[in-house]
Structure 1
Amino acid sequence: MGEIVSGTVAAIERFGVFVELDDGPSHPVFPGVGFITIPELSWRRFEAASDVVQVGQRVSCEFLQFDTWNLEARLSLRATQPDPFQAFADRNAVGRKLHGHVTKLVPFGVFVQVANGIEGLVPLRELTWTPAKAPSHVVQVGDEVTVVVTEIDRELRRLILSRRQVLPHHL
């Protein structure tokens, strides 16, 4: 783990969050500003940075690197928190049946939330035994579904699921 720095959220922009640091890592031109990119805010999916932090909030972040172009420290808030995907992967294996709800329909399948902060993809071909032209022909957002884990990729933090494998062969 890298050096931990603390500070106060100074501004929230659509591209990330500026943090006024208490004292930054030693660097000759470092002015005490930290920046957290959107992906480094949280392991969980969120709509806006303000869903994770608020202006004025105290934060402790892991120092990633100096951005000498913008003269700011790149920080990670999520690096100070356990990755829920790795904990999920420790508790679950390929072949495990899970219950969840559909969170998003995409042309190539659907996303199903199977645990807090954990979503997996059910590819279109794994939705039913009979081919479907679109996910909306089979399920809708909010539907409760039972799925089977077919792949857990720890490195890419990707979970692939099948609904077809828990259905009778005629559906």
Structure 2
Amino acid sequence: MDWQSESPELWAFLESLHCGDILSGTVAAIERFGVFVALDDGPGHPTLPGVGFLGLPELSWRRFKDPTDVVQVGQRVACEFIGSDTYNAEARLSLKALEPDPFQAFADRTVGGQEFRGTVEKVVPIGVFVDLGDGILGLVPFREIDKRPAASPAEGFEAGDELAVVVREVDLPARQVFLSRPESGQYAGGVLPT
């Protein structure tokens, strides 16, 4: 569809926006692929529930299973404009851009060698993911646990176990935290005594 000729008001609105603008509106519809927002200062969209659109990665810094874990239909939101989708004639928005990034905060306050207590979130073939709090997950590769081979079975580790871990590296661009077990206190079962 040629949005310029079919909906000149919508096109003019999208052209008037600048990256970083803060737009407010109401969540109009939630789909498995994103959230439509009816913007307060924008025109209606001829075919979509709202002229604003929040892609799933722009909803929150935190992990979530469903968009309804973050927003609800009818909820008022303020979002940052991050660009126009000229194919669908939508204002692409970010809800998380207006919130502090917990990963950045973690990286700013954490140094290599720092110890944490965490909870096993998940055991995978290459290691153990540990929840360090505030939605930050770190990986303890099996080669770092009791000198096991890199793809060792996950014997003795279960979701919910508490572990002492040491930060080996925080890779901010990749948003990854690599961990190991402390030199003292390595337990075969991986569970830290209370």
CA 1:142/1:126 → structure 2, altered by over 3 Å: closer, same or farther? Answer: same
- Give the corresponding residue for 2:122: 104
- TM alignment of 1:63-74, pairs within 5 A: 63-74=81-92
- TM alignment of 1:63-102, pairs within 5 A: 63-102=81-120
Task: Read off the aligned partner of 2:21 and give its amino acid letter.
Answer: E
- Give the corresponding residue for 1:39: 57
Q: Could you tell me which of 27, 41, 56 is aligned with 2:74?
A: 56
| Cα deviation, residue 127, structure 1 | 2.6
| Cα deviation, residue 92, structure 1 | 1.1
Structure 1 residue runs without a partner (length 5+): 26-30
TM-score normalised to the size of structure 2?
Answer: 0.78
TM-score normalised to the size of structure 1?
Answer: 0.88
1-structure distance, mates of 2:56, 2:187:
43
| Cα deviation, residue 164, structure 1 | 5.8
- Give the corresponding residue for 1:133: 152
| SS of residue in 1 equivalent to 2:163 | strand
Per-residue deviation, residues 5-53 of structure 1 (Å, max 9, x unmatched): 111111111111111111249xxxxx96111111111001111110011
2:142, 2:148 within 8 Å by CA — same for their partners in 1?
Answer: no
Per-residue deviation, residues 109-167 of structure 1 (Å, max 9, x unmatched): 121111211111111212323446222x1310111001000001112221111126454
- Give the corresponding residue for 1:7: 25
Task: Read off the aligned partner of 1:114 and give its amino acid letter.
Answer: L
2-structure distance, mates of 1:37, 1:127:
38
CA RMSD of aligned residues (A): 2.3
2-structure distance, mates of 1:119, 1:169:
21
Task: Read off the aligned partner of 1:61 and give its amino acid letter.
Answer: C
Task: Read off the aligned partner of 2:141 and give its amino acid letter.
Answer: P
Structure 2 residue runs without a partner (length 5+): 1-18, 44-48, 190-194
Count of matched residue positions in the alignment of Structure 1 and Structure 2: 165
Q: Could you tell me which of 108, 122, 138 is aligned with 1:120?
A: 138
CA 1:115/1:66 → structure 2, altered by over 3 Å: closer, same or farther? Answer: same
Percent pairwise identity:
59
2:28, 2:50 within 8 Å by CA — same for their partners in 1?
Answer: no
1-structure distance, mates of 2:50, 2:67:
21
